[in-house]
Amino acid sequence: MASFIQRLGPSGKRVWQAHIRRRGYKAQVRTFNTKAEAQAWAATIESEIARGVFVSRTEAEATTLKEALDRYAVEVSAHKRSVGREASTIRWWQASALARRSLASIRGKDISATTADRTVGANTVRIRLALLSHLFNIARTAWGMESLGNPVELVKGQRPKLPPGRTRRLVGDEETRLLDAARTYGGEIGPIITWAIETAMRRGEIAAMRWEHVDRKARVLLVPETKTGTPRRLPLSSRALTVLDSLVRCIDGQVWRMRPDSISQAFERICSTAGIEGLTFHDLRHEATSRLFEKGLNPMQVAAITGHKTLQMLKRYTHLRAEDLVALIG
């Protein structure tokens, strides 16, 4: 049977301590504000011990979210390619009111209240919840906290809906104006813009290109590190090869000197000069993917070039209209 002892708490207020001792199990002790809470907890623990399903909650109750995030940053996040992006998400959770709470005490409603800021974009909320969910899963499966549930799973129905994917394309003479402004701007940004339109490569993939990955004879480029973690080989168009042939090879093997952030900053300035609004560098990947479909490639062929994991992800690029399908159905 459990025993209950009333004590004077750190704040000077009287609290109730529940003690459970069973042969073969480590003693369980927990403090509550009321005796009723202590008795309810003790009844749950004793029932689990009797049924042989008890798993100690001691470590989960002793580890704060901040401590768990510190460990996650070192043991998990540090080994990801997205370590830089995850660092800011970790800092956000550590600055939240939940940071001082134990992992075992955090509930779904607590997480919902913490992420309820409507001024934050839906994708930002999604990223924050995804990291927290992974932390709870790691704590349960790899850190020995088997009793710990994942409260993020209880927030699924309350997560904000993501906005539809961007569908911005180059219209009218925007491509000409863009490249003219790039030539005036100077440097590598003009060839990089053309390269992006021809290959549908992501900004980071372009910045990481190396000459040893270019097979000029086969007209193929190896992209060893991708967002999805799967290397791919993509065919190079004649226009893409012309871009490569115009470049001066650097001794360090890098194709481009510009880093991802520099590419975006230069692109933004060029768009401003050209009078083009609402266009981002990543929109060029959408433009390139759409052009592949317009050339008659099927979804599997396009996916092999772009690196999209599922056909569903490619659906928004096709822009199929009923009028375009009339000739196909006869």
Any catalytic annotation for residue 317? Answer: yes
CB 20 within 8 Å of CB 27? yes
Please determine, for residue 312, whether its predicted confidence score (pLDDT) is greater than 60: yes
Where residue 56 falls among pLDDT bands split at 50, 70, 90? Answer: low
Q: How far apart are the first and last CA of the chain?
A: 81
Q: Give the rounded percent of residues in the chain with a pLDDT score beyond 70.
A: 89
CA separation for the pair 218, 322 (Å, rounded): 38
Non-local (6+) Cβ contacts of 5 within 8 A are: 16, 17, 19
Q: In degrees, to the nearest 5, what angle opens at C-alpha 36 toward C-alphas 41 and 1?
A: 55
Q: Which of 183, 227, 249, 319 is catalytic?
A: 227
Any catalytic annotation for residue 308? Answer: yes
- 218-223 mean pLDDT: 92
With 0-12 / 13-18 / 19 or more C-beta atoms within 10 angstroms meaning exposed / middle / buried, residue 279 is buried
Any catalytic annotation for residue 22? Answer: no
- The per-residue DSSP string of 143-209 comes to SS-TT---GGGGGGGGSPPPPPPP-----TTHHHHHHHHHHHH-TTHHHHHHHHHHH---HHHHHT-
pLDDT, tens digit (0-9, with 9 covering 90-100), for 105-143: 899 999 988 988 777 778 888 889 999 999 999 998 888
Where residue 42 falls among pLDDT bands split at 50, 70, 90? Answer: confident
Stretch (H or E) spanning 67: helix 65-75
Residue 325: what pLDDT?
55
Any catalytic annotation for residue 286? Answer: no
Domain ranges of the chain: 3-54, 62-158, 174-329
Q: 69 or 32: whose pLDDT is higher?
A: 69
Any catalytic annotation for residue 159? Answer: no
Determine the CATH number of domain 174-329.
1.10.443.10
Where residue 99 falls among pLDDT bands split at 50, 70, 90? Answer: very high
In this prediction the pTM is 0.62
Q: Which of 57, 72, 203, 317 is catalytic?
A: 317
Specify the CATH class of 62-158 in words: mainly alpha
Q: Which of 57, 128, 140, 202 is catalytic?
A: 202
Please determine, for residue 330, whether its predicted confidence score (pLDDT) is greater than 60: no
